[in-house]
Amino acid sequence: MNVYKYHPRRFGAFHSVYPVISRRSGGLSLGVNLSPTGLCNFACVYCQVIAETDAAADNTVAAAVRDESPPFLDQLENELRQLTASYNDGSLFSGTYLESTPPEKRELRDIAFSGDGEPTLFPQFDEAVERIIAVRNELCKPDVKIVLITNASTLHVEPVRNTLAVLRRGNGEIWAKLDAGTAEYFQRVSQSKVPFDKILTNLQTFTQTQPVIIQTCFFNLHGQPPDENEIGAYAEQLNKLHCIEYIQLYTVARNVPEPWVQPLTQPQLDGIAEAVECLTDKEVRRFY
């Protein structure tokens, strides 16, 4: 079993938290899924989640989540406590698919808001962040990070920005997605109604006051990697951002819904990483 490639977002009887051995985290990450209904305003071609893009559907789903929020958050916190306890006593790695995890990758590195959709669309995102920080403070080592993986579409929303400031003060990191340099490519990849300009403005404004780690997934689309012009435009957009800690460049590693979405080869990914480093002076970390 390759624990880097097998990332089920359901684990045993748990509904909203799950362990993964994460290449990008460098060890164990406990995923927190605030979107059990798959609520997202993107429908990325490489996403394994069935995304809801219709506004009416979004409202319906949001209302459903809101209605069940108090018990949902209680259950989520309870599950995180149980999973953390099983990590602390070592039982997490026995009798589960995680048994094959190499010893050096068993360290708990972070608790990550990830899962089946865009976490910041969850109506009680602020409360969820506070609860997860409290559990981390109580049960984990202080260097365990709280990570938010976001598509950056809500970084202009004031309550979200305020919550992200809280998250960062609680040893948090924001991993913001940028998968394109041009509006056309963005549309092909994200299939979103959110304009590309909105994402760029959000990232430019947000990084004036808070640092982010940029997360970029490139792949072969209908047999072609992003071309030179696209990479050039992507690097230009990166250069307009203010505080970027580094860039995580990766490719699809697991099965994706569309057969015309295929992973980059290692030389392809290396070539893009070198071009981006040359054009931006930013550190690019590669994940094959």
DSSP letter assigned to residue 119:
G
What is the C-alpha to C-alpha distance for residues 191 and 53, in angstroms, rounded to an integer? Answer: 9
DSSP letter assigned to residue 269:
H
Question: Considering only residues 3, 47, 111, 112, which one is a binding residue for ligand SF4 as defined by CB under 6 A?
Answer: 47
Alpha helices in the chain (DSSP H): 55-67, 69-88, 125-139, 158-169, 183-190, 196-206, 228-240, 266-280
Question: Is 51 near ligand SF4 (CB under 6 A)?
Answer: yes
**Span from 37-45, 65-73, 74-82, 120-128 in contact with ligand SF4 (CB under 6 A):** 37-45
Q: What minimum distance in Å lies between the beta carbon of 257 and ligand SF4?
A: 10
Q: What minimum distance in Å lies between the beta carbon of 47 and ligand SF4?
A: 3
- 196-206 helix and 183-190 helix, angle to the nearest 10 degrees: 100
Q: What minimum distance in Å lies between the beta carbon of 195 and ligand SF4?
A: 15
Distances 259 to 5, 114, 250, 287 between C-alpha atoms, Å: 18, 24, 18, 21
Query: Would you say 12 or 257 has its CB closer to ligand SF4?
Result: 257
Q: What minimum distance in Å lies between the beta carbon of 200 and ligand SF4?
A: 16
Question: Whose structure tokens read 């640092």?
Answer: 211
> Which residues within the stretch 145-174 sit at the binding site for ligand SF4 (CB under 6 A)?
151
- Residue 171: which of 141, 206, 149 has the closest Cα? 141
Q: What minimum distance in Å lies between the beta carbon of 199 and ligand SF4?
A: 11
Decide if 130 contacts 166 (C-beta within 8 A): yes
Question: Is 42 near ligand SF4 (CB under 6 A)?
Answer: yes
Question: Is 44 near ligand SF4 (CB under 6 A)?
Answer: yes
Q: What minimum distance in Å lies between the beta carbon of 279 and ligand SF4?
A: 25
Q: What is the DSSP string of 59-75?
A: HHHHHHHHHTHHHHHHH
Is the sign of the CA dihedral 78, 18, 221, 179 positive or negative? Answer: positive
Question: Is 212 near ligand SF4 (CB under 6 A)?
Answer: no
Decide if 172 contacts 211 (C-beta within 8 A): no
Pair of tokens at residue 105:
């990758």
Question: Is 28 near ligand SF4 (CB under 6 A)?
Answer: no
Question: Is 117 near ligand SF4 (CB under 6 A)?
Answer: yes
Question: Is 118 near ligand SF4 (CB under 6 A)?
Answer: yes
**Span from 5-13, 46-54, 62-70, 201-209 in contact with ligand SF4 (CB under 6 A):** 46-54
Query: Residues interacting with ligand SF4, by CB under 6 A?
Result: 40, 42-44, 47, 49, 51, 117-118, 151
